Structure 1
Amino acid sequence: MAIRALILIEGTRSNGPLYVKAAQRLGLHPITLSADPARYDYHAPVSVEAIRVNTDKLEALIHECSLLRATYEIAGITSADELVYATVGKLCRHLNLPGPNPESVERCCNKFTQRQLLAEAGVPIPAYHLAANATEVERAGAEIGLPVIVKPAVGHGSIGVRLCRDADELAEHAAYLLGGKHMSRSSPKILVEEFAQGPYYSADIMGNEVIGIAAGDFGPLPHFVFRGYSHPAPLNDGDFKRIADVSLSCLRALDLGWGPTNIEFRWTKRGPVVIEVNPRLAGGPNPRLVQLAYGVDLVTEHIKLAIGEEWNLSRRQSNVAAARFLIADRDGVLDWISNGDHAAAVPGVAEVALYVNAKTPIVRKGDYQDRIGHVVAASPSRTQTAGILERAVDLIDWSISPFPTLGEKGQSAASHLQAAAQAVLQKR
């Protein structure tokens, strides 16, 4: 009998290892297809077959899967990476395997198209305009009214997302985005949006079922870098239902409902307003929080769906789980980061992850890549969980030295910046 394999197309630093481990627990042999397998450091601690292939080309993936079928039974194909998720759907369709609707994923990943479909369905969203040049950006800002959110029309991880509070900031950020260097696969078009103000929530959905709603908070503006989030959000039954109802309206409007979806909201004077619909699991430690809070393993259940097995989304427990992110406070070279093991030993801490090693160049971008680690804790109460996180985070310390000036040790600050950019690409 052939070995049953799960094909993983690309991956992410946070969720990629979860898919590998969950596949192995289900008795599957995980195989990663990647344009650069070496950039996923989760291949090192576990035995994972990794094959180099151009994952931008559907034909190349079809060819590689045809070769693998000579040795393995391909039980399913999936990914934790939004950038290739539409291609995953096309590959599954070609091989007659369960998978997401690729057309729906592509429409959803274009933020402007997503906005149009949600607006047509009457889903509450911020006012918005699409802009292709600096003049259109300026006009959109004036029509909507400053401050506005300015972001790439295609992107993820808050890359290139910024609050522009005046005309100078608007012009500066538009020039940056139109330069096209912020993200390799991004569209040159820009989305200018109303700044929807209010508490942040996100709904974690599997299929057509809202599993849980999280609350989150951010670091200082003008960027949107998460400081932390928690499951469940402190909502009464009525407010939970309002967010859940709007979430299901999003699925209908975007023709989603197969597999995982994460929907981000701001609770404004109008109630819940949709900021973004992501046709995937939330990144970072969020799947771990869902498992700790409700007993639902979203990654495992997603894999079950991908291989055609019955899933189980029933809640098995009721805890408060929360994550706190460690965020670099300056640019420079990380001298050291310590006491992660001490933090992990605090009762109630479920996970401590440090993303960077000593001597890593740190260049803050104002997006998810500014985070250098996280701590996850869980307990039966919100107050207790908050106290556990505070004790654990206070134990972790680090030092960042300024980049050497030109001539010091034969290396300039510019070379450090280049090294940092390369490190970011390798850890995407």
Structure 2
Amino acid sequence: MARRALIMIEGHRRNGLLFVQAAKRLGLHPITLSADPTQYDYLAADGIETIHVDTGNVDALIRECTRLRATYDIAGITGFADFDESVNATVGKLCRHFNLPGPNPGSIEHCCDKFAQRQILADAGVPIPAFRLAANATGVQDAAAEIGLPLVLKPTTGNGSSGVRLCRNVDELAEHATDLLRGKHTGSSSPRILIEEFAQGPHYSAEVMGKDVIAVGAADFGPPPHFVCREYTYPAPLTHEENQRIVDISLSCLRALDLGWGAANIDFRWTKRGPVVIEINPRLAGSPIPQLVQLAYGVDLITEHIKLVIAGEWNLRRRHSHNAAARILVSDRDGTLDWIGGDSQAADVPGVAEVKLYVQPKTPIIRKGDYRDKIGHVIAASPSRARTEAVLQRAVDLIRWSITPFPTIGEQEHPAAPHPAAAPTQVTPSDR
């Protein structure tokens, strides 16, 4: 009998190994198809079967999967990529070709185009910020005049807050519009720009599987103008009625965008007019959110997603109710990382579930104002929110690092003082 294989298109630096481990627990042989396998260090470290192929070419992927079928029983196809959400649409096309369970590629493509997503949600009456589309500086200025400052400017494609900026005045608006139009954040010149009303208020995130909202969490961000998350908490500190409002709007989003297969992640801001949808991602949220959901509720989103991919029966029943939180470690300056330590001591703090560092000493730290600024995380869980926060703070205080700023012309390098992990601004229910 042929060995059952799970085909994974591309990889993910944070979630990828978790998918590989879950696949193996389910008795599957994971095979990764990637245009550049070297960018995912876990593939080589764990000896994962990997095939180099142009993952932007659907025909090439079909040929490779057809070849693999001569050796393996392909149980399912899934995928993710650090920088390209369109991989999910490609997965949908492959699943349809091979008659395997998978997402609707058309729905995924609508989600990946942030402007198209906004239009569909607006037509369905889903609460969203005011928005406009622009392809040049004049269009950006006209949109700003209509909506009013402050504004959020972002490319219409991409993820991880890449190229997303809060523009509080005309100078910031002009500067960031110029950067986007030159392709600084997208890699291509003259991209389309989405101009949005700045929805002010606490941030919440709904984790969806199929047509069920599994969890609603809260997130805190670092200082503007960037949107780099510093802390996640599950469950969010919401009343039952507030939680239900987010659930109801989440289900409206699924209906409007014809989603409802597999995972989705929906971001909200709770404004003066209630929750408004910031973005819908037709995929699992990145690490550490799957770990937090499992710690808080006992639901393993990654394993259950793979079960769906291979036409198995998933189990989304909550097994317990705890509080789980993650603090994200972010540098406050650019430079060369001299050393980073204290992770072992932090991991030994009772209640800490995971400590993970993403960087090694001598790594250049160049902040981008997006997910790439993160250098590690600490996760804690307990029966109460107050206890979880105390455990998390105790562990984070043990982690320290030193960064030598990059030398400027005529200056010598001077090592910076060790930096403790910075704490984010906390959000409480009264802040809403």
Q: Which residue does the alignment assign to 1:201?
A: 204
Task: State the shift of 1:336 in Å.
Answer: 0.8
SS at match of 1:44: helix
1:255 and 1:5 mapped to 2: Cα distance?
29
Task: State the shift of 1:10 in Å.
Answer: 0.6
- RMSD of aligned alpha carbons: 1.4
Deviates more, 1:133-142 or 1:184-193: 184-193
Task: State the shift of 1:80 in Å.
Answer: 2.9
In structure 2, give the amino acid aligned to 1:40: Y
Q: Which residue does the alignment assign to 1:94?
A: 97
Task: State the shift of 1:141 in Å.
Answer: 0.8
1:35 aligns with 2:38: no
In structure 1, give the amino acid aligned to 2:345: H
1:171 to 174, 178, 184: 174
SS at match of 1:395: coil
2:49 and 2:287 mapped to 1: Cα distance?
24
User: TM-score if structure 2 supplies the norm length?
Assistant: 0.93
1:295 and 1:127 mapped to 2: Cα distance?
37
8 Å Cα contact 1:230-1:320 kept in structure 2 = yes
In structure 2, give the amino acid aligned to 1:122: G
Q: Which residue does the alignment assign to 2:26?
A: 26
1:40 and 1:86 mapped to 2: Cα distance?
21
Task: State the shift of 1:339 in Å.
Answer: 1.2
1:6 aligns with 2:6: yes
In structure 2, give the amino acid aligned to 1:130: L
In structure 2, give the amino acid aligned to 1:42: Y
1:132 and 1:123 mapped to 2: Cα distance?
25
8 Å Cα contact 2:86-2:108 kept in structure 1 = no
8 Å Cα contact 2:182-2:189 kept in structure 1 = no
In structure 2, give the amino acid aligned to 1:310: E
Q: Which residue does the alignment assign to 2:381?
A: 378
2:257 and 2:187 mapped to 1: Cα distance?
26
1:84 aligns with 2:112: no
In structure 2, give the amino acid aligned to 1:67: R
1:336 and 1:197 mapped to 2: Cα distance?
37
In structure 2, give the amino acid aligned to 1:220: P
Q: Which residue does the alignment assign to 2:428?
A: none
Task: State the shift of 1:182 in Å.
Answer: 1.1
1:75 aligns with 2:75: yes
Task: State the shift of 1:155 in Å.
Answer: 1.1
Give per-residue Cα distances to partners, 1:170-213, cap 9 Å, x unaligned: 01000000111312379800000000001110000000000010
8 Å Cα contact 1:146-1:164 kept in structure 2 = yes
Q: Which residue does the alignment assign to 1:291?
A: 294
1:185 and 1:65 mapped to 2: Cα distance?
31
8 Å Cα contact 1:152-1:187 kept in structure 2 = no
SS at match of 2:45: coil
2:339 and 2:96 mapped to 1: Cα distance?
48
In structure 2, give the amino acid aligned to 1:193: E
1:50 and 1:263 mapped to 2: Cα distance?
31
Q: Which residue does the alignment assign to 1:240?
A: 243
Q: Which residue does the alignment assign to 2:396?
A: 393
Map 1:306-385 onto structure 2 (within 5 A).
306-385=309-388
1:184 and 1:292 mapped to 2: Cα distance?
38
Query: Taking structure 1 as reference, are residues 395 and 335 closer, same or farther at Cα in structure 2, changes over 3 Å only?
Result: same
Report the number of matched residues: 410
Task: State the shift of 1:406 in Å.
Answer: 5.3
Q: Which residue does the alignment assign to 1:55?
A: 55
1:185 and 1:178 mapped to 2: Cα distance?
8
2:17 and 2:331 mapped to 1: Cα distance?
24
SS at match of 1:248: helix
8 Å Cα contact 2:222-2:228 kept in structure 1 = yes
Structure 1, unaligned runs of 5 or more: 412-428
In structure 2, give the amino acid aligned to 1:56: G
Task: State the shift of 1:227 in Å.
Answer: 0.6
1:181 to 155, 179, 184: 184
2:216 to 213, 216, 227: 213
2:130 to 117, 121, 127: 127
Identity of aligned residues (%): 69
Query: Taking structure 1 as reference, are residues 341 and 83 closer, same or farther at Cα in structure 2, changes over 3 Å only?
Result: farther
Q: Which residue does the alignment assign to 1:424?
A: none
1:3 and 1:379 mapped to 2: Cα distance?
40
1:15 and 1:186 mapped to 2: Cα distance?
31
Q: Which residue does the alignment assign to 1:267?
A: 270
Give per-residue Cα distances to partners, 1:123-166, cap 9 Å, x unaligned: 00000000000000011011100000000011100000000011
8 Å Cα contact 2:33-2:53 kept in structure 1 = yes
Q: Which residue does the alignment assign to 1:420?
A: none
Give per-residue Cα distances to partners, 1:8-61, cap 9 Å, x unaligned: 001111111111000000000000000011110111332310110000000110
Give per-residue Cα distances to partners, 1:392-427, cap 9 Å, x unaligned: 000000111011345999x9xxxxxxxxxxxxxxxx
Q: Which residue does the alignment assign to 1:44?
A: 44
In structure 2, give the amino acid aligned to 1:66: T
8 Å Cα contact 1:155-1:186 kept in structure 2 = no
Task: State the shift of 1:345 in Å.
Answer: 0.7
Q: Which residue does the alignment assign to 1:224?
A: 227
Deviates more, 1:75-84 or 1:131-140: 75-84
User: TM-score if structure 1 supplies the norm length?
Assistant: 0.94
Q: Which residue does the alignment assign to 1:426?
A: none
SS at match of 1:139: helix
SS at match of 1:205: strand
8 Å Cα contact 1:152-1:177 kept in structure 2 = yes
8 Å Cα contact 1:152-1:186 kept in structure 2 = no
Query: Taking structure 1 as reference, are residues 408 and 168 closer, same or farther at Cα in structure 2, changes over 3 Å only?
Result: closer
2:308 and 2:188 mapped to 1: Cα distance?
29
1:407 and 1:30 mapped to 2: Cα distance?
52
2:204 and 2:145 mapped to 1: Cα distance?
28
